[in-house]
Chain A
Amino acid sequence: AQSVTQLGSHVSVSEGALVLLRCNYSSSVPPYLFWYVQYPNQGLQLLLKYTTGATLVKGINGFEAEFKKSETSFHLTKPSAHMSDAAEYVCAVTGANSKLTFGKGITLSVRP
């Protein structure tokens, strides 16, 4: 079985500040990890994913995430927040099949 923990439900940053959204996982098999973004009234869109290889993964809109096996983490970062980054961000992990397990998501607000 697999699970995802995203502590907290809301993060607020100033425009231009660093964005750090935390994700920890548990998995009985080597994990494949995903970050999705959900804008208001829309479906989920893939930001980035880690499967194998390089542990630092770059995604769309300037986001990146680093897989750290020792810490069972896959935190999402962006050096400089933009107003358009305001959305809900959801971390997910696949287990031994194609079943995707999601965290509860974090709402990112960006202050002018």
Chain B
Amino acid sequence: DAGVIQSPRHEVTEMGQEVTLRCKPISGHDYLFWYRQTMMRGLELLIYFNNNVPIDDSGMPEDRFSAKMPNASFSTLKIQPSEPRDSAVYFCASSLTGRMNTIYFGEGSWLTVV
């Protein structure tokens, strides 16, 4: 079975540009999570969705970040405008309902803003 699929795997962009990260969760999973990983802070939850509805976006750093989930098989995380401090690895993950259920991660999108 296909796992969580993220694109792009790597992106280098200039400060001020718009960045869009994409995610396809595992089919049938009803939770989708966006995480950011940095050396300083480790893994941080940015936002998560349940049945395509945003449940908790308290981790989104500021208004420059936005996330959408238009359907059960697709989500985007957008940064506009991007800044060098946004450089990080962004992970998408999905799971089934139930806090005992494993959250499955994609391989990450490695973002560098110069």
Measuring CB to CB, which residues of chain A are less than 8 angstroms from any residue of chain B? Answer: 32, 34, 36, 41-46, 49, 51-52, 90, 94-105
Known: A43-B91, A43-B105. A32 touches B45 (CB 8 A): no
Most A Cβ at <10 Å: residue of B33, B50, B99: B99
A96 to B98 CA separation, bound complex (whole angstroms): 10
Return A111 CB to nearest CB of chain B, in Å.
Answer: 23
Given A42-B107, A44-B105, is A94 in contact with B99 using a C-beta cutoff of 8 Å?
Answer: yes
- CA separation between A34 and B102, bound complex, in Å? 8
Task: Give the distance to chain B from A45, nearest Cβ to Cβ, in Å.
Answer: 8
Asked whether any CB of chain A lies closer than 8 Å to the CB of B101, the reply is yes
Evaluate contact between A98 and B99: CB separation under 8 angstroms.
yes
CB neighbours (8 Å) of A90 from chain B are 42-43
Question: Which chain B residues lie closer than 8 Å to A95 at the CB level?
Answer: 99
**Interface: B97 (CB within 8 A):** yes
A-B contact pairs, 18 of them (CB 8 A): A32-B99, A32-B100, A41-B110, A43-B106, A43-B107, A43-B108, A44-B91, A45-B105, A46-B104, A51-B100, A90-B42, A94-B99, A95-B99, A98-B50, A98-B97, A98-B101, A100-B103, A105-B42
Q: Please tell me if B95 contacts chain A, counting CB pairs below 8 Å.
A: yes
Q: Does B14 contact A (CB under 8 A)?
A: no
Chain A residues with CB below 8 A from B104, complex form: 46
The answer, among A42, A43, A46, A100, for a CB contact under 8 Å with B33, is A100
* A104 and B42 contacting across the interface, CB-CB below 8 Å: yes
B-side contacts of A34, CB under 8 Å? 102-103
CB B76 to nearest CB in A, in angstroms, measures: 18
Partner among A36, A43, A45, A98 whose Cβ is within 8 Å of the Cβ of B98:
A98
Contact A101 B42 (CB under 8 A): no
Q: A98 is contacted by which of B31, B41, B107, B108 (Cβ under 8 Å)? A: B31
